Amino acid sequence: MPLYKSITVNSQTTVKIWKIEESFEELFNPKQLKNSSLQRVNGMKSQLHQRGFLSVRQLLETFGYTDFDLFYDDNGKPHLKDGKEISITHSFTFSAVIVSSQKVGIDVEKQRDKITKIAHKFVDYEFKYLTKKADNYINKLTVIWGIKESLYKLFATPGMLFKTHFLVIPFSMADKHTIAWIDYNGLKKRYNATFLEFEGFTCAYAIEE
């Protein structure tokens, strides 16, 4: 069972990361899936996506939940029937889940050079402290994307833009922590953001203060 990492953020918040090493057949158990999830996984064209979806269900079990405890609202935001907050992510060979009594969001991203080509689509204020020629430029861009993706998942409101409505305060890679803000339609809220790197991937998560 490749539970890759478990992080106790605080007494109310836990992050768990799964390294997806199993085949689809090893992960798939139709008895553990509700009908809507079964239809969804069977409709996926990519086995990579299928394995990511199923590995999240494995992670749910490590928290003591099953697929039947999970549901989604009209905006696609996941919820747990017991009222706790949850956020879910998967990318290539890793998936992650965060569960908390506070509002939370999480994202896992593979570190890739192509992020530099789309940076202008999600970075604005942050260009003031980014150095394009720095060795860690791609790493920092990936952190910023991950934090903003986490905020988007946390807030789950159509119309929010990464570039316009989310702001990540300057940080160093060694800190593994920073502050992020949402500024949207008169609402301004501050969030604690944490990030970590492993095997060419970045995981970031945001927690409402």
| DSSP category for residue 134 | S
Say yes or no: 122 and 93 in one domain: no
B/e letters for 75-93, b = 16+ CB within 10 Å, e = fewer, are eebbeeeeebbbbbbbbeb
In this structure, the chain runs to a length of: 209
Whether 96 and 166 map to the same domain: the answer is: no
Q: How many domains does the chain have?
A: 2
Q: Which of 47, 73, 101 is the last residue of a domain?
A: 101
The predicted structure's pLDDT at residue 1: 57
Q: Are residues 119 and 97 in the same domain?
A: no
Residue 184 pLDDT greater than 90, yes or no = yes
Structure tokens at 93: 């060979």
* Mean of pLDDT over the chain: 96
Instruction: Please calculate the CA angle 135-139-144 and round it to the nearest 5 degrees.
Output: 130
Same domain, 95 and 125: no
| Whether residue 199 sits in one domain with residue 159 | yes
Task: Tell me, yes or no, whether 124 and 97 share the same domain.
Answer: no
Residues 96-147: pLDDT tens digits? 999 999 999 999 999 999 999 999 999 999 999 999 999 999 999 999 999 9
pLDDT over 90 percentage in the chain: 92
pLDDT at 183 over 70: yes
- Verify that 142 and 202 share a domain, yes or no: yes
Residue 83's domain comprises 3-101
Question: What does the alpha-carbon distance between residue 209 and residue 206 come to, in Å, rounded to a whole number?
Answer: 9
Confirm whether pTM is higher than 0.75. Answer: yes
